[in-house]
Structure 1
């Protein structure tokens, strides 16, 4: 009986799968608040359920935290006028070494063209982008001081 697959290639395949399967998940992350436009004296908070994962002054700085459970995260941008709430942010964008941009009422050049209609509205935007792979990103826009979503955009949708 003749084998259809080279045994050496089969062994290499199984060895590769074993190594990948045993790779340890990253346990801590750093997100860098790189850009803040149109907002001053504010705070950025990541929450999962009732637990605060990390909170920081909204200014160029680094956020350091431990891996969170899979699920959805709520991101809050709070200033003296109120809180803009970004609900249902997938944890894969929080469990990521990334840059974070936060803006208010600034129509960024990387926004999807269909968002042009929101010009003139009061809105707040977060943009999370992987430091390792520019193709992994998450952007969401809400009406300022509400949780009402205007739009969201990522490599997944």
Structure 2
């Protein structure tokens, strides 16, 4: 009986050490701020949010290579993160531009005419909009097409 007890204890002890070896330290969770701004990329300070029932929207927008989006404005604050490719944001009035590459974010313009232009590669951009129910995400400038035709 004693040999069985010792073997049982050794087996249990081996199991404890084996599970401890596999458990290890849990993986580290990391967070990186992509953007934290009080003004849009061209320097215009944000004002207050619209009043009403808040509505958050996140879009993944895929823009083909060598494409200029139509000139448009956003009536609500929004921020973008470039997942892949490059995007140059242009301000229509000032002529300022800002190039953003994969892994970078930027604070978009509000109530200011602008557009994005891609380079040699397709750009995938995640855009978060902080608005209220019933407010459009984007308004085309006079004579321009909508920024995006189909939202799924």
Normalization by structure 1: what TM-score? Answer: 0.28
Normalization by structure 2: what TM-score? Answer: 0.29
> Which protein, 1 or 2, shows the higher relative CO under an 8 Å CA cutoff with sep ≥ 6?
2
- Please tell me whether Structure 1 or Structure 2 has the larger radius of gyration of its CA atoms: 2
